[in-house]
Amino acid sequence: MKLFLDTGDVEEVKKAAEWGVIDGVTTNPTLIAKSGKGFRETVLKICELVPGGAISAEVVATDYDTMLKEALEIASWHDQIVVKVPLIEPGVRLVSTLTERGIRTNVTLVFTVTQAMLAAKAGATFISNFVGRVDDISGDGMEAVAATVEMVESYGFESEVLVASVRHPQHVVQALAVRAHIATMPFGVIQQLFKHPLTDSGLKRFLDDWNKAGLSIFEGAGVA
Ligand code: G3P
């Protein structure tokens, strides 16, 4: 499964990129607004920090003509950019157009397998299926993800299913279980993935024993 960072914060991207496990970054208008920086400069900086990664940047118009203009502008900034488009009627039309022109798309705000089917048929590169927002209202967000992965695989669509609105590591466990292609998550959730109390106590014991014995990796180094 590919791992994307969901953020508009360049400092977070910088830190996560150093781990070498980030395949891309997703942004949305809320995250970009929160960053306090310009859209283009932020997205270009993220492209630079994650070379070769897929970087999603979203259109904000809701009528087809303006959405198309915005999409072409955003796509012209960098070849790593994937144009993020909401699942509304002009959005699906836009995805069909961009697909014909060879521009990659990430269809966002997808909550059902039938919405996902429309995105897949339009040629979406990624289908962003939101889970946290469904769980927030007592639903099971992962149900639609499972159905969408099954639909994409069994019908042979080329779209990749991207689990979005991830709130905690259990969502990542579930995304792996349903064989989602990608999960995007906030920096804090990726940090949580590292954590296990037995890792911490185990490491402490190894280091205490090592230090008590007065050992050194470099002992004798450089001696012929
Ligand atoms: O970028 C889309 C998505 O991941 C948003 O998450 O936490 O605002 O529901 P959230």
What are the tens digits of pLDDT across the range 170-208? 999 999 999 999 999 999 999 999 999 999 999 999 999
Mutual angle of helices 64-77 and 39-49, in 10-degree steps: 40
Task: Write the residue with the smallest CA distance to atom 10 of ligand 1.
Answer: 165
Q: What is the Cα–Cα distance from 137 to 220, expressed in whole angstroms?
A: 62
Q: What is the mean pLDDT of residues 134-152?
A: 97
What's the pLDDT at 220? 79
What's the pLDDT at 224? 55
Query: Which ligand 1 atom minimizes the distance to the CA of 30?
Result: 8
Q: Which residue has the tokens 């995304």?
A: 175
Strands of the chain (E only): list them: 2-6, 24-26, 54-58, 81-86, 105-110, 126-130, 160-164, 182-185
Q: Class of the 2-195 domain?
A: alpha beta
Would residue 84 show up in a list of annotated catalytic residues for this protein?
yes
What count of residues does the chain have?
224
In the reported structure, the alpha carbon of residue 100 is separated from the centroid of ligand 1 by a whole-number distance in angstroms of 28
Task: Write the residue with the smallest CA distance to atom 4 of ligand 1.
Answer: 165
Locate all alpha helices (DSSP H) within 2-38, ordered by sequence: 10-18, 29-35
Q: What is the Cα–Cα distance from 86 to 70, expressed in whole angstroms?
A: 13
Q: What is the mean pLDDT of residues 145-169?
A: 98
pLDDT band at 19 (very low <50, low <70, confident <90, very high): very high
Strands of 79-153 (E only): list them: 81-86, 105-110, 126-130
Q: Identify which of 30, 131, 165, 182 to mutate to test ligand 1's pocket (most ligand atoms within 8 A of the CB).
A: 165
Q: Minimal CA–CA distance to 164: which of 179, 142, 193?
A: 142
In the reported structure, the alpha carbon of residue 205 is separated from the centroid of ligand 1 by a whole-number distance in angstroms of 39
pLDDT at 223 over 80: no
pLDDT at 100 over 80: yes
Q: What is the mean pLDDT of residues 17-46?
A: 97
Q: What is the Cα–Cα distance from 91 to 60, expressed in whole angstroms?
A: 11
- Any ligand 1 atom below 6 A from CB of 165: yes
- Any ligand 1 atom below 6 A from CB of 29: no
Q: Enumerate the domain spans of the chain.
A: 2-195
Instruction: Output the pTM of the full model.
Output: 0.95
Q: Minimal CA–CA distance to 6: which of 142, 162, 177?
A: 162
Query: Which ligand 1 atom minimizes the distance to the CA of 31?
Result: 1
In the reported structure, the alpha carbon of residue 9 is separated from the centroid of ligand 1 by a whole-number distance in angstroms of 14
- Any ligand 1 atom below 6 A from CB of 115: no
CB burial string 36-50: b at 16+ within 10 A, e below: eeebeebbbbbbebb
In the reported structure, the alpha carbon of residue 219 is separated from the centroid of ligand 1 by a whole-number distance in angstroms of 50
